[in-house]
Amino acid sequence: MNLGIYLPVAGTSVNMFLLFGLGGIVGFLSGLFGVGGGFLLTPLLIIIGIPPTVAAASDSNQIVAASASGTYAHARGGTVDFKMGILLLIGGVIGGTLGVRLIHLLRSTGEANFVISVTYVIMLGSIGSYMFYDSLLGLFGKTLEKTSRGTHTGPSTYARILNVLPFKMEFTRSHVTLSAIIPLFLGGLVGILSAIMGVGGGFIMVPIMIYILRMPMHVVVGTSLFQILFTCINVTIMQAWMNHNVDFILALNLLFGSVIGAQVGAQVGKKLKTDQLKILLSLIVMVVMVKMLVDLLAAPDILLSYKGSH
Amino acid sequence: MFRYPLLSAILLALSLSAATTVRAGVDRIPLRIEPEHIQVGLFYSGQNIVVRADVPAGYNVLLKVNGGTQKLDLKKKGKVLGFLWMNVGEVVYEDVPVLYIIRSSNKLADLAPANVLQQLGIGYDALKAKIVKTPGGEAGMLFGDLIKLKEGEGLFNVVEGGIGPAPMPGGREQIATGFLLPPKAPVGEYLVELYGFKDGAGTLLGSGSITLEQDHLIRFISSMVGHRALLYGCLSVMIAIVAGLLTGVIFGLGKGKAH
């Protein structure tokens, strides 16, 4: 039986069960952690022979399915903070636009590749190690906040800044009251980083929601998926329209696996403790960081590559 | 021509040399290519092609398959700060064949001298001579990496010594060889050439072609991608959302009312 399926935009053929499996793994991570999974799936697709530009664009299309499935699952469970998600999304769109301009500027100076690679490794390394350390402490009954606070009992500098900012809003699902400026600003920051790094930004957004916005972990996952859904709808349409890079047959095969994976991930996530979720995500982030570091340090087998690859 | 006597002498010498090393074509023999016409459909994953021919006895043979050429704009990796491997520039290659497959009865070096192979465009050295204008430049130094890249995709493939001619009555030999037309080969027409080598000279014994074309469904999708891109993008998103929500509903029904 021929299991290969032809991908008209990628211009190649791939085993359909391999795509189904890859989609399933990434969908599972998406449902479990609220990340899009592009940072993991795009390199995997490139490894199996999909042209880099098609891999990135089609990946966005399948993330639409996985995040729609995941958002629906979380919305049914009441773990999506739509108000927070919309503010982060608005900030993300503005930040993404600024980031694209910044990259354009860096490319003209010839420093873009260096900045992208170093930003990637530093971001992944610092986020991953911080989450890992914090979740380890959490598993042993402490938190970073408690350990760093010591004997000091007054409000922290961060809390004082939050209190003086205008446009306060109550986010009932997240059980926090914040100035609307904070999620707008943070969304913008992630948008800039996402544009620079060429990824959806879920693995940056999730730690920001946990540590800076102080949202509960289960609301973080659902809200992140909600935001990713709209980001990837925009990216898919723009990539199809402007660059003709979306391979629907590829995305369809991936999404069959990913929508199921996302549901399973969301169910597994409910059974795990917050610190267990955080420690797993931090390990994945650090594995990706180590892989990138190895790519940067090890001499490649082939010194030439097609445009659009990392 | 006579205004440049030195150039004229060189051209004449080259012509004479070519006449002695690449023989004038003998009566062309038909190639039996199976299949000659290939439809690229949804379940296409490359196609095994078999080529058969009855050739005059005494020839060493070589089959060359190639298509049109393309310009390749590639990224080059290099060291930054002495220890980081990053993309540091671009390398451009002109006239790179989209497909280059060789099957032969002997090692290429045993078939004919290098200049003969080069004239016939046979072997990677001949390709390099055609593609790389300045061998000492960056493109020349990275040519081996270009070959590795293309071989990794299955688009370049050279197998030396795979064809074993079988004797036939009437002083002829039957040859049969096969190759995989990889799924990455773009649609179009590919030229199949069979060369015979004897006494260090090469002769084109016969040629044929393979046509690769899209079926209706793949042509329809390709047309949507190219000509109705915005509609295609919106449909892709809508189908993804429906698939995602539908799976969510199915999973949700399986568990009853969510808390």
pLDDT tens digits, B168-185: 787 788 999 999 999 999
Which of A74-83, A178-187, A208-217, B12-21 is the least confident region?
Answer: B12-21
Q: What is the pLDDT of residue B192?
A: 95
How many percent of chain A have pLDDT more than 90?
Answer: 8
Contact B42 A256 (CB under 8 A): no
Q: What is the pLDDT of residue B236?
A: 93
Q: Which residue of B has its CA nearest to A231?
A: B237
- Classify the complex by whether its ipTM is higher than 0.85, answering yes or no: no
- Return the closest-CA partner of residue B221 out of B40, B25, B38: B40
Q: Which residue of B has its CA nearest to A60?
A: B237
Contact B74 A13 (CB under 8 A): no
User: Does the beta carbon of B166 lie under 8 angstroms from any beta carbon of chain A?
Assistant: no
User: Does the beta carbon of B244 lie under 8 angstroms from any beta carbon of chain A?
Assistant: yes
Pairing relationship of beta strands B69-80 and B84-97 according to DSSP bridges: antiparallel
pLDDT confidence of B46, banded at 50, 70, 90? very high
**Span B69-87, mean pLDDT?**
86
| Confidence check: pLDDT of A201 > 80 | no
Which of A45-59, A83-97, A155-169 is the least confident region?
Answer: A155-169
Contact B44 A297 (CB under 8 A): no
**Span B7-15, mean pLDDT?**
44
Contact B221 A8 (CB under 8 A): yes
The tokens describing A205, both together, are: 């957004």
How many percent of chain B have pLDDT more than 70?
Answer: 86
CB-closest option in B75, B85, B235 to A296:
B85
- B chain contacts of residue A259, beta-carbon cutoff 8 Å: 243-244, 247-248
- Produce one character per residue of B208-235: b if its CB has 16 or more CB atoms within 10 Å, e if not: bebebebeeebeebbebbeeebeebbbe
Beta bridge pairs of residue B198: B201
Contact A304 B214 (CB under 8 A): no
| Confidence check: pLDDT of B256 > 50 | no
User: Does the beta carbon of B91 lie under 8 angstroms from any beta carbon of chain A?
Assistant: yes
Name the percent of chain A in helix, strand, coil, to the closest 5. Answer: 75, 5, 20
Distance CA B232, CA B227 (A): 9
- B chain contacts of residue A238, beta-carbon cutoff 8 Å: 233
Q: What is the pLDDT of residue A155?
A: 61
User: Does the beta carbon of B152 lie under 8 angstroms from any beta carbon of chain A?
Assistant: yes
Query: Which of B76, B221, B236 is the mutation pick for testing A, counting most A CBs within 10 A?
Result: B236
pTM of the shown model: 0.75
pLDDT tens column, A21-52 = 998 888 888 778 777 677 778 778 888 888 87
Q: What is the pLDDT of residue B185?
A: 93
User: Does the beta carbon of B57 lie under 8 angstroms from any beta carbon of chain A?
Assistant: no
Report yes or no: A282 and A131 within 8 Å, Cβ to Cβ. Answer: yes
Which of A70-79, A172-181, A289-298, B5-14 is the least confident region?
Answer: B5-14
User: Does the beta carbon of B259 lie under 8 angstroms from any beta carbon of chain A?
Assistant: yes
Q: Which residue of A has its CA nearest to B243?
A: A65
Distance CA B62, CA A193 (A): 54
Report yes or no: A186 and A224 within 8 Å, Cβ to Cβ. Answer: no
The residue ranking higher by pLDDT, B50 or A56, is B50
Q: Using alpha carbons only, how large is chain B's radius of gyration in Å?
A: 25
| Confidence check: pLDDT of A82 > 60 | yes
Contact A244 B226 (CB under 8 A): yes
* Residue A297: other Cβ atoms inside 10 A: 10
Contacts of A295-300 spanning 24+ positions with Cβ under 8 A: A295/B85, A296/A117, A296/A121, A296/B84, A296/B85, A296/B86, A297/B83, A297/B84, A297/B85, A298/B85, A299/B85, A300/B77, A300/B85
- A chain contacts of residue B78, beta-carbon cutoff 8 Å: 303
- B chain contacts of residue A236, beta-carbon cutoff 8 Å: 233, 236-237, 240
| Confidence check: pLDDT of A238 > 80 | yes
Question: Looking at chain B from residue 61 to 80, which residues have their Cβ under 8 Å from any Cβ of chain A?
Answer: 73-78, 80
Report yes or no: B202 and B22 within 8 Å, Cβ to Cβ. Answer: yes
The residue ranking higher by pLDDT, B6 or A38, is A38
The tokens describing B95, both together, are: 């006239």
Averaged pLDDT score across all residues of chain B:
84
CB-closest option in B43, B245, B258 to A4:
B43
Nearest chain A CA: its distance from B152 CA (Å): 9
Chain A / chain B CB contacts < 8 angstroms: 183
| Confidence check: pLDDT of A71 > 90 | no
The three-state secondary structure class of A53 is helix
Contact B75 A305 (CB under 8 A): yes
Which of A74-88, A113-127, B50-64, B112-126 is the least confident region?
Answer: A113-127
Query: Which of A302, A306, A307, A309 is the mutation pick for testing B, counting most B CBs within 10 A?
Result: A302
Residue type, A302: I
Contact A240 B149 (CB under 8 A): no
Supply the DSSP symbol for B88: E
Which of A277-291, B9-23, B193-207 is the least confident region?
Answer: B9-23
Residue type, B177: T
